[in-house]
Chains A and B, each alone.
Chain A
């Protein structure tokens, strides 16, 4: 019995260590943006071929903005899978959330390719594309580094910003989430971002 008690105690301690509290004084686990950043203005095209006005079409929603590309071998699939897993656990938050994926590789990422890629994570995720100039302008407007092509031919990759920017329903981003954000951190922060309406 002592052994089992010890096992339970050690395991509890280990699990607690796994969920190490990284919450900052602001209450968020994510990287706090100080001052908060306003939602950028840009219009791109969604996977149905319709224009998508980022500011107007996400008004009043918790909006997660991510710049990536479907051929991304590591960071993009992990970030999107983490968001999808977290939203699955937060159905009340999910109803008021829009996840917007903007491709930084419009040459290869056709609307069909983007849709197929996003549907692996969540069919409600919104995919946007535009010309290279439009996409670069959107990245600048969002305050992230502009993606750059690495390599030649068809087998190139894109160096791009890895963080997800979270805009509260009031239209301001108070936090962003780098690659490596864990599901527990997403689940902790998303309800807080949704409730954050006092800019």
Chain B
């Protein structure tokens, strides 16, 4: 039985594969959230929608067929998964978590202190995000981790964790841990997610050879060659981040402007 998507080393087929590990990872947090919210007397509709959207996207991007294709067949799907984890699931989870739940959970896990420290040290958050980005997109990282279910799971979870680290200073459910300065937030997001990722994205786009043996030696899906698939992955990474990161920076800019006008 397969619990999590990893490279299969066999021809791609549209025959459905069950990954119970993914279902558990989707069902347990969702049930836990809904029960907690119910016991607490509810949560606003927007937060609930954000959390459920996060779990829905998590399911789609981790389960068959997206998860299977990304884990062992197509580099550009792997990249799409990364963007979904980091740019959609992570911020939606933060937006969907009410403050009382975040405090309670982090306190019980004895993580509140570390989380508070991290949320206030933007440079550290940016460095952590980019270290995970590089490690999980280095050839040795991809080829090692994607070859096993455990490795693949670790890769996906590290993406999610790095996404939460990235967004925590901006959309932190705990009000006092949010970075207050709009200018600082904009610069932080630009440098962390708008500049450095261009380096690996360019490496993928302009490399003369496929970098990952996982995707180079996988039976082809569709008509893309291994190198074209890699180039597409680079483009997905480069262009996929632009609307989200610049969109977020734009929103912050207009809020900042509105705040200044109101003074």
Residues of chain A whose beta carbon lies under 8 Å from any beta carbon of chain B: 3-4, 7-8, 10-11, 13-15, 17-19, 73-74, 77-78, 81-82, 85, 89, 179-180, 182-184, 187
A7 contacts across to B, CB distance below 8 A: 130, 134, 196, 199-200
A18 touches B212 (CB 8 A): yes
Q: List 12 A-B contacts (CB under 8 A).
A: A10-B138, A11-B138, A11-B200, A14-B137, A18-B139, A18-B213, A77-B219, A82-B216, A182-B210, A182-B216, A183-B209, A184-B209
State how many angstroms separate the Cβ of A8 from the closest Cβ of chain B: 6
| Distance of A8 Cα from B135 Cα, bound (Å) | 12
Choose among A4, A13, A182 the residue that contacts B217 (Cβ–Cβ < 8 A). Answer: A182
| Distance of A179 Cα from B141 Cα, bound (Å) | 22
Choose among B199, B203, B218, B227 the residue that contacts A4 (Cβ–Cβ < 8 A). Answer: B199
**B184: interface (CB < 8 Å):** no
Chain B 216-238, CB within 8 Å of chain A: the 1/0 string?
11111000011100000000000
A11 touches B211 (CB 8 A): no
| Distance of A17 Cα from B218 Cα, bound (Å) | 20
Given contacts A14-B140, A14-B141, contact A78 B219 (CB under 8 A): yes
| Distance of A13 Cα from B213 Cα, bound (Å) | 16
A11 touches B199 (CB 8 A): yes
B196 touches A183 (CB 8 A): no
| Distance of A3 Cα from B212 Cα, bound (Å) | 24
Residues of chain B whose beta carbon lies under 8 Å from any beta carbon of chain A: 9-11, 126-127, 130, 134-135, 137-141, 191, 195-196, 199-200, 203, 207-213, 216-220, 225-227
| Distance of A19 Cα from B209 Cα, bound (Å) | 10
A10 touches B134 (CB 8 A): yes
Given contacts A3-B126, A18-B140, contact A78 B195 (CB under 8 A): no
Choose among A14, A85, A89, A183 the residue that contacts B139 (Cβ–Cβ < 8 A). Answer: A14
Instruction: Name the residue in A7, A73, A74, A179 with the highest tally of chain B Cβ atoms < 10 Å from its Cβ.
Output: A7
A85 contacts across to B, CB distance below 8 A: 225-227
Closest to B137 in A: A14
A180 contacts across to B, CB distance below 8 A: 213, 217
A8 contacts across to B, CB distance below 8 A: 199
State how many angstroms separate the Cβ of A109 from the closest Cβ of chain B: 18
What are the 10 closest A-B residue pairs judged by CB atoms, nearest first?
A14-B138, A18-B139, A73-B11, A74-B219, A17-B140, A10-B134, A18-B211, A183-B209, A7-B199, A74-B11
State how many angstroms separate the Cβ of B72 from the closest Cβ of chain A: 12
A77 contacts across to B, CB distance below 8 A: 219-220
B209 contacts across to A, CB distance below 8 A: 19, 182-184, 187
State how many angstroms separate the Cβ of B140 from the closest Cβ of chain A: 4
B219 touches A183 (CB 8 A): no
State how many angstroms separate the Cβ of A50 from the closest Cβ of chain B: 30
Closest to A73 in B: B11
State how many angstroms separate the Cβ of B169 from the closest Cβ of chain A: 16
| Distance of A14 Cα from B141 Cα, bound (Å) | 8
Choose among B208, B210, B211 the residue that contacts A89 (Cβ–Cβ < 8 A). Answer: B208
B139 touches A78 (CB 8 A): no
State how many angstroms separate the Cβ of A180 from the closest Cβ of chain B: 6
Given contacts A18-B139, A78-B217, A89-B208, contact A4 B195 (CB under 8 A): yes
Closest to B143 in A: A18
A78 contacts across to B, CB distance below 8 A: 217-220
A17 touches B11 (CB 8 A): no
State how many angstroms separate the Cβ of A74 from the closest Cβ of chain B: 4
State how many angstroms separate the Cβ of A128 from the closest Cβ of chain B: 24
A10 contacts across to B, CB distance below 8 A: 134-135, 138
| Distance of A180 Cα from B7 Cα, bound (Å) | 14
Choose among B10, B134, B191 the residue that contacts A74 (Cβ–Cβ < 8 A). Answer: B10
A14 touches B134 (CB 8 A): yes
A183 touches B210 (CB 8 A): yes
| Distance of A58 Cα from B216 Cα, bound (Å) | 29
A15 touches B217 (CB 8 A): no
Instruction: Name the residue in B9, B135, B139, B227 with the highest tally of chain A Cβ atoms < 10 Å from its Cβ.
Output: B139
Instruction: Name the residue in B9, B195, B213, B219 with the highest tally of chain A Cβ atoms < 10 Å from its Cβ.
Output: B219
A11 touches B134 (CB 8 A): yes
B139 touches A15 (CB 8 A): yes
| Distance of A85 Cα from B212 Cα, bound (Å) | 15
Closest to B227 in A: A85
